[in-house]
Chain A
């Protein structure tokens, strides 16, 4: 296995420097973090705007604010609009607002400001007015009046709580997982396939197969590129962690955490799903003649992996229904499905166990089949075998190889 290890190392080292990988692994999360930082900076700036406004004057002609309660320190009462205006012009205040005599009926508030008034100022005025309009109620009732629903969605089966911010987190985490899974496994297994095609076309395969066994070659490639995929996953998770940590200050991401059980399920399915996809790609790479052809087949075989994404509505509306259950069990859709399903509600353990078992067995079978095809297809140049030949290759005793395949090589190579 020493040779497989050397192959793994080379695959890892030579692909990690590819621009396409670097962009997918580091560039995209970097862009997301930059966007995040910009959003946070904008939020911070709006707070800063509020500070810049300084003191805010108000003129109450309606009587609502007579004997004002819960008055922010920066709010100053003025007798009339002229006095407030003079203060504004003298730059003693940054803005003032006027409640008309019929404010209670009309809700009209006139806000005068030197610059455009930031949203945060309006929020502050809102809170001030509500507190005074409802001054006869007790503070708890006022609190409810301001924020009547602190939503908490309890799913029926398991009681995974989807409340407030956690809901966002539970949606973001599987989304990142699914996205990274598809991106990483398709990128790396694509490298695997095009690497095999390159080695076949450059005939370096002739040297490789007289040095290592086809299984060592395939295994080394899958491990090396799998490590590459894991690097990508880790970078993304780190980026996700960074984003949620940075984002604690913003209303959207406050309180968002990544549930550890979801993380564990995600990693297990990521690895199993990757091996399944890589096994398929290795098999395809071994039998197709050109890189272009290999891409078409790759697209065809990776499509099932992303099907659950298109059926995401079912995961919301009917997570225990037959569609989602099937998607969670069917090995080509289960990696993505289980991650999404687990995010919305914890899966019954027996279903999870069954799904994992099916995926594991399928992965092992696919890798075994693929290594048979791999062994036989490696020296097949420029000619795609028929399905019947592939089936015969799989059935053949492992010791004998390429009986039908080598004939065109022999004839074509001369």
Chain B
């Protein structure tokens, strides 16, 4: 396994009784990347995360995390933010953070120092001695995110990290995730928020019905689903441009979707547009589908029995 491979999931399968939650799933996660795990509800994401974390054992296949099977030492290098979150409610914030960090192998003094530093960074210093139950839900979530990073892990697995956060706090957490990635950490992020995957994630795996539906670089996956179309905005008679088969209004935008005839390249359309004095062009871009559309398409196809 290459030295920068954080997780290697190899043909794993897991069933609960007669229900096949995961069937033959394979993917790798590398250090220094944000890896998104997508999929509809019940696709097997949580089961997969639990198998990676050694809470569940796969029925077949193998998983290597940070170089092998999980043990006490490697567990100390993992941070986990579960989807359903909680902390000891009646305990002061800094105590909870310190305790959980010492379980990850930090000394009490070091754990306390880092806890206070993180609270400072999250602008929660004033709440260090307050009980967890006195914090708002968003604050608790930030504290719990800090717990995920406190012990300086090599890998973090974060399940729906932004649910329930306001835009400002979302930005704070995003920046922390990106900083962690840029320092060489591996991030596995499970989420439903596609737009965040589009600009945060480097690579993704989409799981549907326990199987790998999509896997690869985010840009590459989007390009794979690119339509033979361009999006334009401006003033003019778009349908009269040569090579354009038909036009549609852009879904959810001000532009126009121009579907191209076979063998027509977008560059040809652009130069044709540039040579037309009757057209004012304000925007021209390739019609790369939103991840959301791809997601829906994959799920629909899965439902109809075909594979993406």
Please, which residues of chain A bring their CB within 8 A of the CB of B87?
202, 204
CB-based nearest A residue for B21:
A410
Please, which residues of chain A bring their CB within 8 A of the CB of B19?
407
The answer to whether B84 touches A203 (Cβ under 8 A) is yes
Please, which residues of chain A bring their CB within 8 A of the CB of B84?
203, 206, 413
Query: Is A209 at the interface (CB under 8 A from chain B)?
Result: yes
The answer to whether B80 touches A210 (Cβ under 8 A) is yes
Question: Which of B24-32, B45-53, B177-185, B193-201 lies at the interface?
Answer: B45-53
Query: Is B225 at the interface (CB under 8 A from chain A)?
Result: no
The answer to whether A413 touches B55 (Cβ under 8 A) is no
- B207 to chain A minimum Cβ distance, whole angstroms, is 13
Chain B residues engaging chain A, CB cutoff 8 angstroms:
16-17, 19, 21, 41-42, 46-47, 50, 53-57, 72, 75-76, 78, 80, 82-89, 91, 99-100, 102-105, 147
- Known contacts: A3-B72, A401-B57, A410-B21. The answer to whether A203 contacts B103 by CB under 8 A is no
Please, which residues of chain B bring their CB within 8 A of the CB of A414?
41-42
Chain A interface residue count: which class? 20 to 34
Roughly how many angstroms separate A406 CA and B54 CA in the complex, as a whole number?
13
Question: Which of A6-14, A165-173, A296-304, A342-350 lies at the interface?
Answer: A6-14
- A379 to chain B minimum Cβ distance, whole angstroms, is 7
The answer to whether B42 touches A212 (Cβ under 8 A) is no
- Known contacts: A3-B103, A379-B55. The answer to whether A210 contacts B78 by CB under 8 A is yes
The answer to whether A410 touches B57 (Cβ under 8 A) is no
The answer to whether A203 touches B47 (Cβ under 8 A) is no
The answer to whether A212 touches B103 (Cβ under 8 A) is yes
The answer to whether A410 touches B42 (Cβ under 8 A) is yes
Roughly how many angstroms separate A202 CA and B75 CA in the complex, as a whole number?
21
Query: Is A211 at the interface (CB under 8 A from chain B)?
Result: yes
- B95 to chain A minimum Cβ distance, whole angstroms, is 9
The answer to whether A202 touches B88 (Cβ under 8 A) is yes
Please, which residues of chain B bring their CB within 8 A of the CB of A203?
82, 84-86
Please, which residues of chain B bring their CB within 8 A of the CB of A209?
55
The answer to whether B56 touches A402 (Cβ under 8 A) is yes
The answer to whether A406 touches B56 (Cβ under 8 A) is yes
Interface of B is mostly: loop
Interface of A is mostly: helix
Please, which residues of chain B bring their CB within 8 A of the CB of A3?
72, 103
Query: Is A399 at the interface (CB under 8 A from chain B)?
Result: yes
Q: Which of A14, A211, A401 contacts B56 (CB 8 A)?
A: A401
Please, which residues of chain B bring their CB within 8 A of the CB of A14?
91
Query: Is A79 at the interface (CB under 8 A from chain B)?
Result: no
Please, which residues of chain A bring their CB within 8 A of the CB of B103?
3, 6-7, 208, 211-212
- B68 to chain A minimum Cβ distance, whole angstroms, is 15
- A242 to chain B minimum Cβ distance, whole angstroms, is 34
- A133 to chain B minimum Cβ distance, whole angstroms, is 72
The answer to whether B104 touches A402 (Cβ under 8 A) is no
CB-based nearest B residue for A407:
B16
Please, which residues of chain B bring their CB within 8 A of the CB of A156?
none
Roughly how many angstroms separate A347 CA and B42 CA in the complex, as a whole number?
62
Please, which residues of chain A bring their CB within 8 A of the CB of B105?
2
The answer to whether B46 touches A207 (Cβ under 8 A) is no
- Known contacts: A3-B103, A6-B102, A406-B50. The answer to whether A207 contacts B56 by CB under 8 A is no
Please, which residues of chain B bring their CB within 8 A of the CB of A407?
16-17, 19, 21
Centre residue among A2, A204, A413 by max chain B CB count within 10 A: A204
List, sorted by A's number, 27 A–B pairs whose CB atoms are closer than 8 Å. A3-B72, A14-B91, A198-B88, A202-B86, A202-B87, A203-B82, A207-B80, A207-B100, A207-B147, A209-B55, A210-B55, A211-B75, A211-B104, A212-B75, A379-B55, A399-B57, A401-B56, A402-B55, A402-B56, A404-B17, A406-B50, A406-B56, A407-B16, A407-B17, A410-B16, A411-B42, A413-B46
Centre residue among B41, B56, B57, B103 by max chain A CB count within 10 A: B103
Please, which residues of chain B bring their CB within 8 A of the CB of A404?
16-17
* Residue interface bits A388-406, CB-to-B below 8 A is 1, else 0: 0000000000011111101
Roughly how many angstroms separate A208 CA and B17 CA in the complex, as a whole number?
27
Roughly how many angstroms separate A210 CA and B157 CA in the complex, as a whole number?
11
Roughly how many angstroms separate A400 CA and B51 CA in the complex, as a whole number?
11
CB-based nearest B residue for A411:
B42
- A200 to chain B minimum Cβ distance, whole angstroms, is 10
- Leading 4 A-B pairs by shortest Cβ distance: A202-B86, A407-B16, A206-B82, A203-B86
* Residue interface bits A1-27, CB-to-B below 8 A is 1, else 0: 011001100100010000000000000
Roughly how many angstroms separate A10 CA and B97 CA in the complex, as a whole number?
13
CB-based nearest B residue for A217:
B103
Roughly how many angstroms separate A407 CA and B22 CA in the complex, as a whole number?
12
- Known contacts: A7-B103, A207-B80. The answer to whether A406 contacts B89 by CB under 8 A is no
The answer to whether B102 touches A401 (Cβ under 8 A) is no
